[in-house]
Homo-oligomer: A and B are copies of this chain.
Amino acid sequence: MTTRKRGRPKADADRDLRGELLRTSRLLLDEGGVAALSMREVARRAGCTHQAPYHYFEDRESILATLVADGFDALAGRLKAANDLVIQQSVRTALIMSGRAYVDFALSQPGVFRVMFRPDVCNPMRFPAVLEAGGRARAELDRLTRIVHGSQATSEQASILWAHVHGLACLLIDGPLAMAFGTEQERQRHLEGVADGFADMLLASGAGGSSNPGRRRKKDVS
C-alpha cells in the first residue's frame, strides 16, 4: 500500500501548476466548448486533486476570466500590428489586415473567443483585468475607424466596422459559414473576397481620411 503524500509537496519549480491549469483549460475550451471546462476535469488532467485549482483561482469563472483577459490582450496586439501597417502601407491594407487579424484570432482560439463575448458565462464586471484588456481591443478598433474615416469618424461608423468583423468571426466559428467550405483554401478565397468587397464599399463611399469631409457626420467616436 503506497501511502499518498499529504500537504505541501517538496519544492518543484518546474511544476508551475497554475500555468498547467491554464493550458489545460484552454485545450478543454477549444475542444469541447465551455461546458467541457469543469474544475475537476482540469484538475484531473493537470494531475492534482480537485481542490488544488482553488488555490490559484477563486472559482470556475475566475479561470475563464484569466483566459478571456489574455484573449483580449492578444486580440488587441494583433489589431495594433495590423493598424500600424497604415504607416508603411495604405489605409486599405490596414483595414483588410485588421479584419483578417480579428477573424484569424477567432479561428485560432474559438473556445476563448466565444467566452470573450458571453457575459453570462464570464461577467467582465467582476474582473477589472478583463474590462481593461477589452478596452484596449476596443480602442484599437476605434483607431481603425479613424484611420478609415478620418478624425471626425462617428460612433456609427465604428459600429459598422466592428459589427462586420465580429459578425464574420461568429458566422465562421459557429454559424452557417462554419461548414460551408470543403477546403481551407476555399475558405481563404471566400474571406479574401469578403474583405475586398467590404473594403471597396467602405473606401468608395466618401471615406478617405481627413482629406475627405464628404458626408454629414453625426457624433465622434468616443
Contact = CB atoms under 8 A, between A and B. Distances in A.
Interface residues of A, number: 45
Contacts of A121: 33, 35
- Most B-side CB within 10 Å, residue of A34, A160, A167, A205: A167
Contact of A218 (B167, B176, B193): B193
A202 interface: yes
Contacts of A160: 164, 194, 197-198, 201
B164 A163 contact: yes
A191 to B, nearest CB: 9
B156 A194 contact: yes
B138 A33 contact: no
A190 B159 contact: yes
A56 B219 CA distance: 52
Given A117-B175, A163-B167, 13 more contacts: A34-B120, A119-B178, A156-B193, A159-B177, A160-B201, A164-B164, A167-B167, A167-B168, A167-B170, A201-B201, A201-B202, A204-B205, A205-B205
